[in-house]
Structure 1
Amino acid sequence: MTMIERPFYLNKLKAHKDDEQIKIITGVRRSGKSSLLILWQNYLQKSEPDSDVIFLNFEHPDTFHLHEGAQLYEYLKSTVTKDRVYFLFDEIQLVNDWQRYINGLRVAFKCDIYLSGSNSELLSGEFATYLSGRYVELPIYPLSFREYLDFRGYRQNESKDPYFRSYLEDGGFPLTALTQNADARTGIMKGIYDSILLRDVAQRRGVQDTALLERVVAFLMDNIGHTISANNIANYLTSSGMNTYVSTISSYLSLLEQAYVFYRAERYDIRGKERLKTLGKYYAVDLSLRRHVLGKNDIDRGSQIENLVYIRLRQQGYTVFVGKYDNLEIDFVCFQNRTVKYVQVCEQLPPDSDRETNNLLKIRDNYDRYVVSMNSLDAGIRDGIDVIHIYDFLLNDL
């Protein structure tokens, strides 16, 4: 299969090339981390002919004998032949004691190191201790709408509507975007879901009750855009006849976040300028997972759009919260480089109501505020608020 470049992420790697930090590519399984490393390997081999470029995928059988840190180190010592070397390691967490040996490579070789992994624990515990902040995380997501259009061969004179409908339905996992047959896409989606949930979450974390785990996933998928706590999930499941505890649900929520299946948006008190520890909203990394779990597409379009907007904001590097201003809710409060932006999301601005804009106008500061609407006729400036059509929002930076 021809590999399609993802310049947004390649440019991020180029920006950090040779900067002495370990580059860690994180994201949900099948989001394109391996392909990105292969593209980066190709780039380095062309641009750095006087350096070694060593790429290892630790899920490939050829590397199974290297799953001990000491064996990996001995292999690298015998393989490196040039003064400068670029190490590209895919799914590095499969190597025992990898944290210590990755740190040791910095001492043993004149090198630039790139790692990938499908679990956020890569960035915690021992590894963070060894590196003392000498790393940079580069999160990767399933395809943005712009990337999806590129993958599907969109031409400028075409309507975006059918592409957007299929993007909502099939999501942005690269393999599904490149697959034309609907039945094949369904099979691929099942494989992606099973590999994420049963392998990355259940098997690797010793989850015995996979039925309960799947019920938690279904609850989260069905309640996108609603504030959620482990307590109300446990209460709901108990009332449905399942035996569970709040502590178990809390553990499952953490595991799903660690595997990048869901992202939790904490609440933020805009007036008090502080994070609120209670409740929060969960958003799926890709809407195709939601459709696979619930079998829904057109139902609750507002939640779908809210999910798209949240993930797009994260793709742009914003830290995103759910806003609270007195008794009002602001869909998203976005922080980046000491600036703040407020975003409301709606299917269309109600003709007889200013609710979407009024909530934003009541905030007493001068930060930019936006409404993202599904209705192209809503676009424009209203009372100083930029109303953006969903296509323009997804295809441009905020």
Structure 2
Amino acid sequence: MKIRQQYLKQLVESKDTEFIKVLTGVRRSGKSFILNMFRDYLISSGVELNRIIYINFEHPDTDDIKNFKTLNEYLKSKADESGKYYFLFDEIQEVENWQRVVNGLRVAYDSDIYITGSNATMLSGELATLLSGRYVEIKIMPLSFIEFCDFKNYHDDSRYGRYYQEYFEIGSFPSVALLQNETLTESVLKGIFDSIILKDVCLRGGIKDTALLLRIVRFLLDQIGHPVSAGSIANTLSSGGRKTTNETVDKYLDLLEGAFIFYKADRYDIRGKERLKTLGKYYVVDLGLRNVALGRNRGNVGAQLENVVYLELIRRGFEVTVGKLDDKEIDFICRNSRETLYVQVAYELPQNSKRETDNLLRIPDNYRKILITGNPMDSGVIEGIEIISVIDFLRGSLIS
């Protein structure tokens, strides 16, 4: 069994604290696997089985405990002794009024609580009110390139270019990485795509116009790396004969973000030092989903490279925005508690490399500036700007 060590480490470090641990992320990103991995850790650490109460609320056996009252009664029958209990709840948002259950366990028991969910809205509203800062979110993403290679037992240094191309094409869902058959891979990816759209967007958002939603999804997939707005999407759809409103598009965009299928990078004015509210960029959580929805050979490879870099940056804990510098654009401004980076992405470094470095050189501060390219041979420094290939970047070079 492959162990996703960085996530297990976060769970172990937060074990036996007062905080409720909330694992969020797109469907099939590995949340259930990681929760089970932690369950195995508890058992190997000497925790008695009857002290671990694990429930997967998407399993048919749990159909009769899908509301506050029945779940509460079930838990009382299982946790009927004094002492510490570990509660592990998978996809708990399937339970009506689940927030009350979680808060009740926190108050009534010596408890350590772990929950997973495939929708960002589970951390808003009543849960935030009830817990008021007593939870920690652990964001689970599909596999990094390093994890992808580990899952597939790829460790030949001379073949990382081929490994990357496969990662680029089939994406990073754990269940997909373990497959060997191309036809099966496409079938599984299509199943994941349909499941996210139907269960986590349409069903949860009460959307009946699935055709309109799919048009918006395909528009976003086709426009990766380009600034978009609800208005520009509505206008494009209307010009194609499908009338809709900005408000409807906004609602659908919020639901798609909430299901973690898309991430939005806001624009940031470097000179004005403020976040802008218009024309952000959207990036898909997994390029395999894009390829199965649009076809592998469709679209701008440079924009897809930008998508790969964006995902890796947020995977490493950066807050990422798109930089605006007068009339120029910086692909990414990356901030965490330790540093600020400026990152430009280019599919290839042309002979006149100043075209790719000029925007970075215009920035009036001394934070690190990095150019990431799709050429595995690119490396070095140009006028203080660090040049690195995407493969070296994904393998951990330069950016911690």
- Tell me the TM-score normalized by structure 2: 0.96
- Does the Cα contact within 8 Å between 1:26 and 1:137 map onto a contact in 2? yes
| Structure 2 counterpart of 1:42 | 40
Q: Secondary structure at the match of 2:96?
A: coil
1:141-172 residue CA offsets vs partner (Å, 9 max, x unmatched): 11110010001111234411221111111000
| Structure 2 counterpart of 1:370 | 370
- Does the Cα contact within 8 Å between 1:50 and 1:82 map onto a contact in 2? no
- Does the Cα contact within 8 Å between 2:161 and 2:376 map onto a contact in 1? no
The aligned amino acid for 1:74 is E
| Structure 2 counterpart of 1:58 | 57
The aligned amino acid for 2:136 is V
Query: RMSD between aligned alpha carbons?
Result: 1.4
| Structure 2 counterpart of 1:136 | 136
> Shift in Å at residue 191 of structure 1?
0.8
Distance in structure 2 (CA, Å) of the matches to 1:195 and 1:132: 32
> Shift in Å at residue 242 of structure 1?
0.7
Q: Matched residues, percent identical? A: 52
| Structure 1 counterpart of 2:276 | 276
Give the 5 Å matches for 1:102-121. 102-121=102-121
Distance in structure 1 (CA, Å) of the matches to 2:364 and 2:279: 25
Q: Where in structure 2 are there 5+ consecutive unaligned residues?
A: none
| Structure 1 counterpart of 2:192 | 192
Distance in structure 2 (CA, Å) of the matches to 1:383 and 1:353: 11
> Shift in Å at residue 12 of structure 1?
1.4
> Shift in Å at residue 124 of structure 1?
0.3
Identify which range, 198-207 or 172-181, moves more after superposition.
Answer: 198-207
1:329-369 residue CA offsets vs partner (Å, 9 max, x unmatched): 00000111163111000112221240222211211112111
Give the 5 Å matches for 1:1-398. 3-50=1-48, 52-80=51-79, 81=81, 83-297=83-297, 299-337=299-337, 339-396=339-396, 397-398=399-400
Residues 285, 332 of structure 1: alpha-carbon distance in 2 compared, 3 angstrom cutoff: same
- Does the Cα contact within 8 Å between 2:161 and 2:391 map onto a contact in 1? no
> Shift in Å at residue 275 of structure 1?
0.2
- Does the Cα contact within 8 Å between 2:376 and 2:392 map onto a contact in 1? no
- Tell me the TM-score normalized by structure 1: 0.97
- Does the Cα contact within 8 Å between 1:168 and 1:297 map onto a contact in 2? no
> Shift in Å at residue 179 of structure 1?
0.8
Distance in structure 2 (CA, Å) of the matches to 1:174 and 1:281: 26
Distance in structure 2 (CA, Å) of the matches to 1:268 and 1:338: 19
Identify which range, 349-358 or 222-231, moves more after superposition.
Answer: 349-358
The aligned amino acid for 2:196 is I
> Shift in Å at residue 64 of structure 1?
1.4
Identify which range, 187-196 or 74-83, moves more after superposition.
Answer: 74-83
The aligned amino acid for 2:147 is E
Identify which range, 44-53 or 300-309, moves more after superposition.
Answer: 44-53
Distance in structure 1 (CA, Å) of the matches to 2:172 and 2:132: 35
- Does the Cα contact within 8 Å between 2:172 and 2:288 map onto a contact in 1? yes
Q: Where in structure 1 are there 5+ consecutive unaligned residues?
A: none
> Shift in Å at residue 48 of structure 1?
3.6
Q: Secondary structure at the match of 1:142?
A: coil
The aligned amino acid for 2:108 is A
Distance in structure 2 (CA, Å) of the matches to 1:87 and 1:110: 11
1:245-303 residue CA offsets vs partner (Å, 9 max, x unmatched): 11111111111000001000000011111100011000000001110111134742101
- Does the Cα contact within 8 Å between 2:349 and 2:373 map onto a contact in 1? yes
Q: Secondary structure at the match of 1:377?
A: coil
Q: Secondary structure at the match of 1:207?
A: coil
Distance in structure 1 (CA, Å) of the matches to 2:366 and 2:76: 57
Residues 82, 40 of structure 1: alpha-carbon distance in 2 compared, 3 angstrom cutoff: farther
Distance in structure 2 (CA, Å) of the matches to 1:295 and 1:200: 23
Residues 261, 53 of structure 1: alpha-carbon distance in 2 compared, 3 angstrom cutoff: same
Distance in structure 1 (CA, Å) of the matches to 2:157 and 2:334: 33
Q: Secondary structure at the match of 2:187?
A: helix
1:78-127 residue CA offsets vs partner (Å, 9 max, x unmatched): 21246111111011111111111201111111111111000000110010
